[in-house]
Amino acid sequence: MPLVLAANVAAVPWPCKAMAESHIVCPPFVDARQARVGAAAGWQGIFGPEGRLPLLGVQAISTPGSLRAPWGELKDPPTRKQGKAVIVTYPLPQEGDKWVVCQYGERVFQAMKLPGTIRECSMTYRQGQLADIACK
């Protein structure tokens, strides 16, 4: 059954000008009470954890349609160091829908659709913590 999360997401200044850089903020956690699990007639859906689920990771993906479709093979994106920061850049193809996907637990995600003009998203990590998501 599907897992549906409802949470407040930081506003992003879309639409953006072509190749202008926009910054996205993943919510730092989701409240497990927000999770809803669909269930068959006579059954009640239950989502196990209580409390807050912290942000575990983020990636940029492209899909041919629905987020429920397979995301395809995710390859290790290019990574570079800049001072004490590590920057991971996800190139995005011209075709398909583009998304930033924030992960909060095993198979617990929130996604934000990006404008079709976006060609890449870079995640900057400082001291192992996500510091910035920049898409252009």
Domain boundaries, given as residue ranges, for the chain: 3-37+50-69+79-135
Please report the pLDDT score of residue 44 as a whole number: 85
Phi, psi at 32, each rounded to 5°: -55, -25
pLDDT tens string 4-53: 333 333 333 333 333 468 999 999 998 887 878 888 999 988 777 678 88
Residues with Cβ within 8 Å of 71's Cβ and at least 6 positions away in sequence, in order, are 61, 63
Contacts (Cβ under 8 Å, ≥6 apart) of 5: 30, 34, 35, 36, 108, 109, 110
Q: Which two tokens stand for residue 11?
A: 């506003």
Using the predicted structure, report yes or no on whether residue 128 has a pLDDT greater than 60: yes
- Give the pTM: 0.74
pLDDT reported for residue 115: 94
Q: Is 105 in contact with 74 (CB distance < 8 Å)?
A: no
pLDDT for the residue 75: 72
* pLDDT at res. 76: 80
> For residue 54, how far is the Cα from the chain centroid?
13
